[in-house]
Amino acid sequence: MTLYEVAVAAPVDQTLTYGHPADRKDDISIGSCVLVPLGRRRVTGYVLDASPQTTAEQPEFTVKPILDVFTPAPFFPAFLIPLYRWISSYYHHPLGEVIKTALPLAPSAKSGYRVKVIDIETLKLHEELPERSRLCEFNWFQALLQTQELPPSQVAKIRQDKIQKKYLQALIKDGSVELVSELIASQVKAKEETVYTLAPTFFENTGISPTVELSTLQPEDDLHLTKIFKPSERKTLALFLNNFIKSGTKPVARKVLLTLYPNCAKALSTLCDEGIFSKHNQRVYRDPFGNTITSAPQTLTLTEEQQVVLEEIKPNIVAGEFKPFLLFGVTGCGKTEVYLQAAEAALQQGKTALVLVPEIALASQLEAQFYTRFGDQLALFHSGLSQGERLDQWQRVREGSAKVVLGARSAVFAPMDKLGVVIVDEEHEPAYKQEEGPRYHGRDVAVMRAKLASCPIILGSATPSVTSYNNTVKGKYRLLTITKRVQEKPLPKVNVIDLSTKKRARRDLFFSDTLIREIGNTLDNNQQALLFVNRRGFSSTMLCRDCGHVLQCRHCQVSLTYHRSKGRLLCHYCGFTMSSQIICPSCRSQNIAGVGIGAERIEEEAKQLFPAARVARLDSDVAVKRKRYLSILQSVKNKEIDILVGTQMIAKGLHFPNITLVGVIWADAGFAIPDYKAGERTFSLLSQVTGRAGRGDHPGKVIIQTNQPHHYAIRFAQAHDYRAMYDQEIETRSPMGFPPFSRLINIKFNGPDETKVEQAARKTSAFINDDCKQHHIDILGPSPSPVGKIKDKFRWQLLLKSVSATALHNVCSRILSERGSLCPQNVRMVVDVDPENMM
């Protein structure tokens, strides 16, 4: 018999061994998703290995058989299994859960339970028993008497209610009913559109050559068709040809034809039957603004620097050798073209390419550029896809019909074989770090994937992370630099305004006189301005003017933000809201005022200052829907907006030539975060925002307002001097021994009981204390997390720091193996390897 190594989708640390199902002949292939028994439950399992059972050695546990196979063919490719295993061990997360997050959906199924009556006589007796008379009050019990069984959905409901669950258990205990587990598979259908194109027989029948004459074909042409068609069919054919020719002979969607001519369904099917059309299913791509992309692929001529960079990388693509490159190039230097051509080089070798971008950048032009270049060979993964669409993309990649994958973090798990090159754009972005479940870093996983697949990886950024840049200094990565912008456009001039000394005509506003003047000039020139604010809402804190009390969320240790558009106070951590008409909970005063900047307020002030200007705001409040987000971008593009106010969301990847002024309202927001990366983050954010100005023919101008004009992050952002910022960071981090001079693992504890959380943190700290001393690991803490409570859960943390990654991982494994005794059940322990965010 065959034994299978299976990772189960449950927090189980080891993989488990299962046997072959009795009623099945053929082997189950590696990469299959299966249903396995786990204790009393049934869970999804992932088949990682198969081996014949050795008669010599019998395992000491009872091997249970696999119950069912969800996927007829292997679902995930076997070559990704080493990557899954690496993530599981490096990030200290159960393998089964890693695989679950790596797959496009859970192709599964929890087990559901059906109730079946075994002994109807005892069940009937229950009605008469006085202590169980309440049973009869439940509808499900009546139904049980009638139908002798209950569906899984109903059982799930019953089990949610404590009292009803008790009664159900009693029935099971005395043997009158039985729980039967049942598979509830999630129904996922790939979403496709029906399209029509000209059938091969059409060309035979008409004598028209598909290559030569089609482009000159007119819809009203006499097509020399052998059969005389009805008017409706002629009309349908003409409509089709119209669209077909207009789109450059791309298949026409049924939906489009039906909209133009609602009654054409019959005619369409006739035309198919007559061999004029052929019908098939296809995904129809649109650009970020919802327009169908028609432009033809074009390869730009490269600048000399771009050329040099590509020549460095190409040999590794051809030879199939792992090599990490850090592509350091200023904004607007044409990194995208390098990516496109690197991917093309991979395709020429019969290989594939994987391109990762931060989620938000996907809505930008990048998506359109890749589609224009690679067309149907491109697969796209972003959070806007439905489960079905995601599965659809996954299968296209799996089959090999999509050879270039463009996507956010989780696209690093795309199942492409023969990987030729991996590209991580904006590699410094903290968004690459997954902050729940397996807390992997998309960039680092990408590096490991390239290593396992033996191909080069390009990490691109205008402001590389200090860690990555340091890797080039250490010789771990190869540094490639592009210093010149395309067409040698100058970088925008950056003007830093000291808010604490500069006089302001309007003390009540956040706009300095310079900023007001510059916005005025910009508007006069018919150009657009972008104002960047770090926070959502109207004002970031609500302060009692009488006693100084700051209003906090009831469930989190954070101050509430006032959102004027909603007329409410909002917690940005848990979503709690309350009326803004309140009295101070501490002194009952009514004199409560909002202080601190928010995007809403800046929008308000901009409207006040420039009543004639068209002002819009773009932040996550406005952009809850991708559609709305895109429509605002579209209006900026169409010059229907003069001033765009926004948060982080507008800092990345927007390419609008008519924006000539960028204003940073208050650059200091990031400094308040107690994190060794605060300076680095502020620098890259300012650099990115700065890069939005002057992308067209007119030179750009940037105004940064700050209270700390001498802070290095601001000074070096002003000077566009990445290297100086890097040197400064190295100088400050070296004596402190922070990364890149060490590695960090953050052990986090959370739970509803504050003292228990604290105790668990202290106990864990004591448990590893000697070990850490011996292996040169610093323990920082235990201490309450910077945000001490979120969603009614108190939070403590223990930060481990060491030069030796191995030592850190060993200690971590020791902690996790003792998790049970260190943490009571209502305290959760979370391990965060290479934490990106300490909050």
Residue from 148, 180, 828, 839 touching DNA (CB under 7 A): that is 828
The position carrying tokens 């260190």 is 822
Q: How far is CA 799 from CA 481, 687, 749, in A?
A: 35, 30, 11
Residue from 22, 39, 146, 505 touching DNA (CB under 7 A): that is 39
Helical H segments across 179-303, by residue range: 200-206, 231-246, 254-260, 265-273
Stretch touching DNA by CB under 7 A, among 37-45, 486-494, 529-537, 758-766: 37-45
Closer Cβ to DNA, 13 or 274, answer by number: 13
Regarding 63 and contact with DNA (CB under 7 A), the answer is yes
Regarding 61 and contact with DNA (CB under 7 A), the answer is yes
Stretch touching DNA by CB under 7 A, among 468-476, 493-501, 643-651, 819-827: 819-827
Closer Cβ to DNA, 61 or 710, answer by number: 61
**What whole-number distance in Å separates Cα of residue 287 and Cα of residue 449?**
29
**What whole-number distance in Å separates Cα of residue 652 and Cα of residue 369?**
16
Nearest approach, Cβ of residue 828 and DNA (Å): 7
Nearest approach, Cβ of residue 656 and DNA (Å): 46
Stretch touching DNA by CB under 7 A, among 54-62, 196-204, 620-628, 689-697: 54-62
Nearest approach, Cβ of residue 2 and DNA (Å): 13
**What whole-number distance in Å separates Cα of residue 657 and Cα of residue 527?**
9
Closer Cβ to DNA, 179 or 256, answer by number: 179
Closer Cβ to DNA, 473 or 766, answer by number: 766
Residue 23 burial by Cβ neighbours in a 10 Å radius (0-12, 13-18, 19+): exposed
**What whole-number distance in Å separates Cα of residue 207 and Cα of residue 189?**
39
Inter-residue contact 94 to 10 (CB < 8 Å):
yes
Q: Can you read off the two tokens belonging to residue 364? A: 């930008």
Stretch touching DNA by CB under 7 A, among 59-67, 403-411, 478-486, 776-784: 59-67
**What whole-number distance in Å separates Cα of residue 338 and Cα of residue 332?**
12
Regarding 41 and contact with DNA (CB under 7 A), the answer is yes
Residue from 25, 40, 224, 507 touching DNA (CB under 7 A): that is 40
Residue from 14, 133, 299, 608 touching DNA (CB under 7 A): that is 14
Count residues contacting DNA (CB under 7 A)? 27
Regarding 160 and contact with DNA (CB under 7 A), the answer is no
CA trace torsion 806, 811, 815, 816 (10° rounding): 10
Closer Cβ to DNA, 321 or 435, answer by number: 435
Stretch touching DNA by CB under 7 A, among 30-38, 291-299, 573-581, 694-702: 30-38
Regarding 297 and contact with DNA (CB under 7 A), the answer is no
Stretch touching DNA by CB under 7 A, among 4-12, 76-84, 536-544, 664-672: 4-12
Regarding 52 and contact with DNA (CB under 7 A), the answer is no
Regarding 58 and contact with DNA (CB under 7 A), the answer is no
Nearest approach, Cβ of residue 790 and DNA (Å): 17
Regarding 298 and contact with DNA (CB under 7 A), the answer is no
Closer Cβ to DNA, 301 or 821, answer by number: 821
Regarding 507 and contact with DNA (CB under 7 A), the answer is no
What would the DSSP string read from start to end of 450-492? HHHHT-EEEEEESS--HHHHHHHHTTSSEEEEE-SPGGGPPPP
For residue 740, cis peptide bond before it (omega within 30 degrees of 0):
yes
Regarding 437 and contact with DNA (CB under 7 A), the answer is no
Length of the chain: 839
Residue from 72, 262, 674, 820 touching DNA (CB under 7 A): that is 820
Which residue, 513, 515, 508, is CA-closest to 539?
508
Q: Can you read off the two tokens belonging to residue 237? A: 């054919």
Residue from 18, 510, 666, 796 touching DNA (CB under 7 A): that is 18
User: Per-residue b/e over 612-647, b at no fewer than 16 CB within 10 Å?
Assistant: ebebbbbbebbbeeeeebbebbeebbeeebbbbbbb
Q: How far is CA 284 from CA 250, 251, 485, 632, in A?
A: 10, 9, 34, 23
Stretch touching DNA by CB under 7 A, among 56-64, 215-223, 281-289, 566-574: 56-64
Beta-carbon contacts of residue 94 (< 8 Å; ≥ 6 apart):
7, 10, 11, 12, 13, 88
Closer Cβ to DNA, 37 or 384, answer by number: 37
Nearest approach, Cβ of residue 530 and DNA (Å): 44
Closer Cβ to DNA, 38 or 812, answer by number: 38
Regarding 588 and contact with DNA (CB under 7 A), the answer is no
Inter-residue contact 80 to 415 (CB < 8 Å):
yes
Regarding 763 and contact with DNA (CB under 7 A), the answer is no
Nearest approach, Cβ of residue 61 and DNA (Å): 5
Regarding 199 and contact with DNA (CB under 7 A), the answer is no
Regarding 757 and contact with DNA (CB under 7 A), the answer is no
Residue from 74, 452, 824, 839 touching DNA (CB under 7 A): that is 824
Inter-residue contact 420 to 287 (CB < 8 Å):
no
The position carrying tokens 């019969």 is 350
CA trace torsion 255, 260, 261, 266 (10° rounding): -30
Local structure of 734: helix, strand or coil: helix
Regarding 106 and contact with DNA (CB under 7 A), the answer is no
Q: Can you read off the two tokens belonging to residue 747? A: 């052990």
Inter-residue contact 261 to 253 (CB < 8 Å):
no
Nearest approach, Cβ of residue 60 and DNA (Å): 9
**What whole-number distance in Å separates Cα of residue 812 and Cα of residue 814?**
5
Nearest approach, Cβ of residue 174 and DNA (Å): 12
Closer Cβ to DNA, 543 or 760, answer by number: 760
Regarding 19 and contact with DNA (CB under 7 A), the answer is yes
Closer Cβ to DNA, 181 or 242, answer by number: 181
Residue from 54, 55, 62, 500 touching DNA (CB under 7 A): that is 62
Residue from 16, 317, 405, 523 touching DNA (CB under 7 A): that is 16
Regarding 17 and contact with DNA (CB under 7 A), the answer is yes
Phi, psi of 799 (to 5 degrees): -100, 125
Which residue, 663, 699, 636, is CA-closest to 289?
636
Beta-carbon contacts of residue 525 (< 8 Å; ≥ 6 apart):
660, 698
Closer Cβ to DNA, 167 or 374, answer by number: 167
Stretch touching DNA by CB under 7 A, among 289-297, 327-335, 481-489, 816-824: 816-824
Nearest approach, Cβ of residue 4 and DNA (Å): 9
Regarding 90 and contact with DNA (CB under 7 A), the answer is no
**What whole-number distance in Å separates Cα of residue 568 and Cα of residue 591?**
16
Stretch touching DNA by CB under 7 A, among 61-69, 317-325, 636-644, 671-679: 61-69
What would the DSSP string read from start to end of 489-546? PPPPEEEEEETTTS--S-TTSS--HHHHHHHHHHHHTT-EEEEE-S--SSBSEEEETT
Which residue, 451, 362, 476, 467, is CA-closest to 411?
362
Nearest approach, Cβ of residue 770 and DNA (Å): 21
Q: Enumerate the β-bridge partners of residue 433.
A: 441
Residue from 166, 189, 227, 588 touching DNA (CB under 7 A): that is 166
Regarding 139 and contact with DNA (CB under 7 A), the answer is no
Closer Cβ to DNA, 177 or 686, answer by number: 177
Closer Cβ to DNA, 755 or 825, answer by number: 825
**What whole-number distance in Å separates Cα of residue 37 and Cα of residue 63?**
10
Q: Which residues bind DNA (CB under 7 A)?
A: 10-14, 16-19, 36-41, 59, 61-64, 166, 820-821, 824-826, 828
